[in-house]
Chains A and B, each alone.
Chain A
Amino acid sequence: MIAAPEPLLKVRGLCKHFPVMSKGIRRRQIGVVKACDEINFDLMPGETLGLVGESGCGKTTTGRTILRALAPTAGEVLFKLPNGNSVDLATLSEAQLRPLRPHMQMVFQDPYASLNPRMTVRDIVAEPLVIHKMAKGSELDDRVSDMLKRVGLKPEHRTRYPHAFSGGQRQRVGIARALIMRPKLVVCDEAVSALDVSVQAQVINLLQDLQQELGLTYIFIAHDLSVVKHICDRIAVMYAGRIVELAQTQALFDKPVHHYTKMLLSAVPNPDPDVPMNMEIRGEVADPGNLPPGCAFSPRCAACTDACRKIVPQLEEKSPARFAACYHPDL
């Protein structure tokens, strides 16, 4: 009998608040933007969790704060190391973090901005190994060639510069750079958003194949729900800095429980001729620097009552494995 596997990552009450300063000489803090607020979730090894939402909902901030590219304002990020120990990434110093960095990597959105145009592909992909002194000489070259093959590029591409590649190929270079450290956790921040559909499908398939081969765990940040559906096991929908719904992918798409998720799903255009058209979208996206009291979605919500306007609803398990932050979930 195998014991139930432990989560690779436990995020508890994670917050990242940015101060808003006044203009002028005496810059005083006049407000706060809660870019990500009270984020809680577990991530199992080998799982893909989608973080979805519209611009400004805090999905990128959440991803970056987990990896400590940003320092969290509050909360815990418990990461299980390969040796079985657990560490709280949120409290470690930079020096303590550095030896852990190989275990967690990031793939960025824009393959034109995330690769240094003055470095060859070999140097780009080898750089993490060099920094962490994990390989040199012919071993380094072998690992770079091997990684390039795995992501569908040819070893002879090593001497080329990024400008010689198409967008899809550059994104493969970015993936190779992230995976050469053999990380456990990979945060893909809009990793396929900048690509054309035909190429996007290739890169999604590559990410899925590599996950199988290398046993990766992904946090997949995206605004495109149909892409997320393809790659994720579970999905967290964010609105105005908070997770409003968290569920298994199929359950979420079959029957969304939170009213924001419903609106979001109905807005996605679908090319199938037999799928009917969507419902009405009400109001404008909430301004994270000026949130209403209570539920941030309440001004746009058809089911809103007085309670919604007073106290922020917490993310609770409404039915098995199904979490929503709503007083009136559509169960």
Chain B
Amino acid sequence: MHAAPLLDVRDLSVHFGPPARPVRAVDGISFSVQRGEVVALVGESGSGKSVTALSLARLLPEPQARYVSGSIVMGGVDVLRASPAEVRALRGSRIAYVFQEPSAALNPVFTIGFQIDEALRLHQPATPRAAERERLLRAVGLEDATRVARSHPHELSGGMQQRAVIAMALAGRPALLVADEPTTALDVTVQAQVLQVLLDVQRAEGMGLLFITHNLGLVKKIAYRMLVMYAGQLVEAGPVSEVLRAPRHPYTKALMRAVPRLRGRMAQLEGIPGTVPAASDYPAGCRFHPRCPHAEARCRAEAPAWEDDAGVRCHFWRTLS
């Protein structure tokens, strides 16, 4: 049937803090990314999306972070059961990251060229470095590659820095790129440019892309499939066009109504009452029920199961849609 997916996450749970009273940052999530596919992972602060992203290459500090269950399979290797050396071999060459703040991802005392070379030395020792460095910088739209390579990070604008970070991530020719809020620190026009660069290189290299964001507008632009996280769990998943057109979970619906739009008129925005619950203190039953306008007795008592066919976690999604 299908070829094995690029990334297959099954029932992943990541906890912090004392085992007696765990902080359940990620609590039983399953998803996969196919070769060349763009998947968006959406959620508010504290929903567990960044912990999920960091788990994929085991970048969380252990033993503070505990992978209490599940598997993360990439290229036939289960990251959670592999040796440190095996995991290190995956990092950069199989899975690479682009983070939110480019000025924090770059070392301020070395030139951009040096930092790209560092990645190339590690991952492509046989390739002629100068030519490959130039190719990477041009691929991310830094036409003035020679000057950029000689620059220190502080000499570049935020947008150019983020492009340089993307170039570094590409140096290992990763099969999967994880971009965790890569444009959140950038202005809208620069965001549009960097997003285009990400899509261009994703297509050119045929990479899988896991794009993590809180911005539903970006999801539509970049992804084919989307996953919505709330309080450490998936609450909805499906093709972007379907989820945005007819969201099934009350949380996704509320999120859509809370986003201010440029087009059309809205009298008042509808906020979602309350806040995202703390990961140490989830409510019983459905974790969204204290904020849900449709919550009933069953929602308070019984946690809804994940329905894989429908891609939703809600007792009443059928009657609500």
Residue among A227, A230, A272 with the highest chain B CB neighbour number at 10 A: A272
Q: CB of A306 within 8 A of chain B? A: no
Across-interface contacts of A253 in B (CB, < 8 A): 262-263
In the complex, the chain A residue whose C-beta lies closest to that of B47 is A196
| Contact status A198-B271, CB under 8 Å | yes
| Contact status A284-B159, CB under 8 Å | yes
Interface residue from A166, A264, A285 paired with B157 (Cβ < 8 Å): A285
Would you give the shortest CB distance from A38 to chain B, in whole angstroms?
23
Would you give the shortest CB distance from A97 to chain B, in whole angstroms?
33
| Contact status A168-B275, CB under 8 Å | yes
Knowing that A196-B44, A196-B214, A199-B271 touch, tell me 13 more A-B residue pairs with CB under 8 angstroms: A54-B188, A54-B189, A197-B255, A201-B269, A201-B271, A202-B271, A205-B269, A205-B271, A226-B261, A253-B262, A264-B188, A264-B189, A285-B157
Q: CB of A164 within 8 A of chain B? A: no
Across-interface contacts of A54 in B (CB, < 8 A): 187-190
B-side interface residues toward A, CB under 8 Å?
Answer: 44-45, 157-160, 187-193, 214-221, 241, 244-245, 254-256, 258-263, 265-266, 268-273, 275-276
In the complex, the chain A residue whose C-beta lies closest to that of B242 is A273
Interface residue from A226, A277, A285 paired with B189 (Cβ < 8 Å): A285
| Contact status B268-A199, CB under 8 Å | no
Interface residue from A226, A264, A267, A273 paired with B259 (Cβ < 8 Å): A226
Across-interface contacts of B214 in A (CB, < 8 A): 196-197
Across-interface contacts of B266 in A (CB, < 8 A): 230
Q: CB of A265 within 8 A of chain B? A: yes
Would you give the shortest CB distance from A162 to chain B, in whole angstroms?
15
Shortest beta-carbon contacts, A-B, top 6: A269-B217, A202-B271, A201-B271, A198-B272, A271-B216, A54-B187
Q: CB of A263 within 8 A of chain B? A: yes
| Contact status B255-A230, CB under 8 Å | no
Would you give the shortest CB distance from A22 to chain B, in whole angstroms?
18
In the complex, the chain A residue whose C-beta lies closest to that of B160 is A284
Across-interface contacts of A158 in B (CB, < 8 A): none
Across-interface contacts of A267 in B (CB, < 8 A): 188-189, 191-192
A-side interface residues toward B, CB under 8 Å?
Answer: 54-55, 166-168, 196-205, 208, 223-227, 229-230, 250, 253, 263-273, 275, 277-278, 281, 284-285
In whole angstroms, how far apart are the Cα atoms of A202 and B268 in the complex?
10
| Contact status B189-A263, CB under 8 Å | yes
Interface residue from B191, B263, B271, B273 paired with A272 (Cβ < 8 Å): B263
Would you give the shortest CB distance from A270 to chain B, in whole angstroms?
5
- 6 inter-chain pairs at a CB distance below 8 angstroms, sorted by A residue, are A198-B255, A198-B271, A230-B266, A264-B188, A265-B262, A267-B189
In whole angstroms, how far apart are the Cα atoms of A284 and B219 in the complex?
24
Would you give the shortest CB distance from A227 to chain B, in whole angstroms?
5
Across-interface contacts of B259 in A (CB, < 8 A): 197, 226, 271
In the complex, the chain A residue whose C-beta lies closest to that of B216 is A271
| Contact status A278-B262, CB under 8 Å | no
Across-interface contacts of B215 in A (CB, < 8 A): 269
| Contact status A201-B260, CB under 8 Å | yes
In whole angstroms, how far apart are the Cα atoms of A270 and B218 in the complex?
7
| Contact status A270-B220, CB under 8 Å | yes
Across-interface contacts of B269 in A (CB, < 8 A): 201, 204-205, 230
In the complex, the chain A residue whose C-beta lies closest to that of B43 is A196
Residue among B44, B188, B215, B217 with the highest chain A CB neighbour number at 10 A: B188
| Contact status A281-B275, CB under 8 Å | no
Given A199-B271, A205-B271, A271 and B220 touching (CB < 8 A)? yes
Across-interface contacts of A278 in B (CB, < 8 A): 192
Given A284-B157, A285-B189, A275 and B271 touching (CB < 8 A)? no
In whole angstroms, how far apart are the Cα atoms of A202 and B215 in the complex?
17
| Contact status B188-A271, CB under 8 Å | no
Across-interface contacts of A199 in B (CB, < 8 A): 271-272, 275
Interface residue from B158, B191, B263 paired with A270 (Cβ < 8 Å): B263
Residue among A166, A253, A269 with the highest chain B CB neighbour number at 10 A: A269
| Contact status B189-A270, CB under 8 Å | no
| Contact status B190-A226, CB under 8 Å | no
In whole angstroms, how far apart are the Cα atoms of A272 and B216 in the complex?
9
Given A230-B269, A273-B220, A223 and B188 touching (CB < 8 A)? yes
